[in-house]
Amino acid sequence: MKPTAILEVKDLTFRYDLRKEEKTLSAVSFSADPGEWIAVVGDNGSGKSTLSRLLVGLIDPEHGTIKIDGCVLGEQSKWSLRQQVGIVFQNPENQFIGTTVQDDVAFGLENVNIPFQEMKERVEAALKLVDMLELRDKDPSQLSGGQKQRVAIAGILALQPKLILLDEAFVMLDPQSRRGLFSVLQNLRKKQGITIISITHDRNEAALADRIIVMEQGELIQVDKPSSVFAKQEKLDAPFAEQLRRNLKSCGRNVPETYMTEDELVEWLCK
């Protein structure tokens, strides 16, 4: 039997300006299973951030429903549901509430009245995961953008949510720490069944997701496995392996017609 979805979005419609006809999001529906990694891709202004803000109840939809862990998100339920959903926004500067790194990570725990001893342990564990433990006494003016992004992610990890939303949360990280954080999140997902929805412009990252959601002008135009998405969406910059395959093909080489992951391509090339 299929596990019950952690997130169910149905017919979500939203407008910033009610006087205008034009919708920021129109009739978006999808669902996410526990432990799934979903990448959201789309051009600037296609409504990705708006979708993420709807999912945490910062703005209310005009139509449609959001169900988190079987419970409909609404005025009453949003406070308890937020304990299960963590979001990391684009701008790390304005996300830093505490005066120091560890204070900031602790902020969310203070809000749910976690006792001091447990709080200390969880803050330390979260900072260790994002490799910021040595810098825990620093204040934000002493940190780089990437480091602040890591602190923001630690703040979410400390809360141990079931669903994590990342809105271009990796953009300021160098490739190495990006890979590092990526594998940390992958591990959590495997061990604890956390669901991750990651808004990203990085095609190689998206290619590693279980499914990709493609947004265009407020509409969800495709939700599928990376292989089908990159095969169908010619417009999307393909990940490295797929680009190589396409290039080889256009040079007249006899390569397979369908999308290939990096591993598949390597295997085929070595034959």
Partner 1 sequence: MNKLILGRYFPGESWIHQLDPRGKLVAAIYFIGILFFAEGWIGYLLLLGFTLLVMQMSGVSLKIYLRGVRPLIWLILFTVTLQVLFTAGGTIYFDWGPFTVSSYGLINGVFIFLRFVMIIFISTVVTLTTKPIDLTDAIHALLRPLRVVKVPVEDFALMLSIALRFIPNLLDETQKVMDAQRARGTTFGEGTLIQQMKTLVPIVLPLFVGSLKRAEDMADVMEVRGYQSDKPRSSFRQLTWTRYDTVSIIIMLLLTAMLMLVNRIGAYY
Q: Which residues contact 23 (CB under 8 A, 6 or more apart)?
A: 13, 14, 15, 62, 218
Of 28 and 260, which has the nearer Cβ to ligand ADP?
A: 28
- Binder of partner 1 out of 17, 44, 70, 94 (CB under 8 A): 94
Nearer to ligand ADP, 44 or 250 (CB): 44
> Is 102 near ligand ADP (CB under 6 A)?
no
Q: Give the Cα separation of 230 and 65 in Å (integer).
A: 29
Contact flag: residue 45 with ligand ADP (CB under 6 A): yes
Residues 10 to 39 in contact with ligand ADP, rule: CB under 6 A: 16, 24
Q: Does 17 bind partner 1 (CB under 8 A)?
A: no
H or E element that contains 127: helix 116-129
> How many residues touch ligand ADP (CB under 6 A)?
10
**Of 25, 39, 119, 214, the one binding partner 1 by CB under 8 A:** 119
Determine if 155 is a binding residue for partner 1 (CB under 8 A).
yes
Residue 264: CB atoms within 10 A of its CB come to 15
Distance CA 215, CA 222 (A): 7
Binding of residue 56 to partner 1 (CB under 8 A): yes
Residues in the chain, overall count: 271
- E-assigned strand segments in the chain: 7-14, 25-32, 37-42, 63-68, 71-72, 85-88, 163-167, 195-199, 211-216, 219-224
Is residue 42 within the footprint of ligand ADP (CB under 6 A)? yes
Determine if 71 is a binding residue for partner 1 (CB under 8 A).
no
Residue 68 binds partner 1 (CB under 8 A): no
First to last CA, the chain: 39
Query: What is the contact surface with ligand ADP in residues (CB under 6 A)?
Result: 16, 24, 42, 44-50
